Structures are given as C-alpha cells and as structure tokens.
Amino acid sequence: MKVVGIDQHTMMPVVVITDAEERGFIPILIGPAEANAITIQMEGIKPPRPITHDLLKNILDGFGAKVSRVVITELKDETYYARIYLKTGKGEIDIDARPSDAIALALRTDAPIFISEEVAAKAMVIHREEEDKELEEFRKFLDSVTPQDFAK
C-alpha cells in the first residue's frame, strides 16, 4: 500500500493502494481527518492522546479481539466500501467500514489490506512504461507529504 498524497487538481487527500508488484494502483479520495490518521501512523508519530483509530484499537485489544484483515469489497456509484474482519473469542465477525477508517485501523494493528477482484477490475490503474516519469514524480511527492500539509 502506498499511502497519502494530495491530488494537485482538487487538493483533496487520497490514499493510494498498490498491488504487491506496484504494477497498478487504486487512488481513493478520503477526508482530511482520515488522511491525517493514516499519515501519522505511517510516520510513527505518537499523539499525546489517542485519536479515534487508536481508541478503536485500544477497545478491540481490551475485548481480546484482533483485526485479521481489511478488505475493500465494493465500488458502487463512485463510493468504495470495506469490511474489517475481527477474530474474537466467539469466532470471526466482519464489520462495514469506510476504506479510509479500515486502512487507518489496519495500519495500527499490522493487519493485511486486500482489495476484492471486483474492485480491482473496476478501479485498478495499470502502470505503463510511458508513465514512468510521471509516476516517479508522484512517488517523490508522496514521500514529501507531511501531516501538516493536511492542516491547510
């Protein structure tokens, strides 16, 4: 998974999910708060008090539940849907979630993130050789983004 950047046309935060070989990617527009939650986790920043996704992880830990995986399951009317799969003492349950929240929680729990084949078929942007320069510039931009960029 490649994470948060800003779309230069709309100035909206996006999360970019790549396949294992980085041959394709799926950009998902997300809110500034979720972008911040993902970014601070990826950068290892520890807020002085738990933010929402930290609180959710702490609650799950308190109940002995474990996030086993996150799956981006659907793309309907330009809206992505995700499921968070939890292992509990009573078995596995899955919970509906926005992809941005599911990703923020997965990063905090070291859970794998998957994309359904249906979503990949609809939304995956395949990397082409001629796009190397543009993609490299985008990667450099992603590497330079900080949480403060989303406060503006």
Instruction: 37-43: list long-range contacts, CB under 8 Å, 24+ apart.
Output: 37/100, 37/104, 38/3, 38/4, 38/100, 38/103, 38/104, 38/107, 39/3, 39/4, 39/145, 39/146, 39/147, 39/150, 40/147, 41/104, 41/107, 41/108, 42/3, 42/4, 42/107, 43/146, 43/147
Q: Residue 37 sits in a domain of what CATH number?
A: 3.10.690.10
64 and 88 Cβ atoms separated by less than 8 Å: yes
Q: Average pLDDT, stretch 123-142?
A: 72
Asked whether the predicted pLDDT for residue 150 surpasses 80, the reply is no
pLDDT value for 7: 59
The mean pLDDT of 1-11, rounded to a whole number, is 56
Average model confidence (pLDDT) for the chain? 86
The set of residues, in sequence order, having a beta carbon less than 8 Å from that of 32 and lying 6+ positions away, is 13, 150
Q: How many domains does the chain have?
A: 1
* Domain that residue 73 falls in: 2-150
Mean pLDDT of 22-43: 87
Whether residue 81 has pLDDT greater than 60? yes
What does each C-alpha distance from 79 to 47, 82, 95, 111, 144 come to in angstroms? Answer: 30, 10, 17, 23, 28
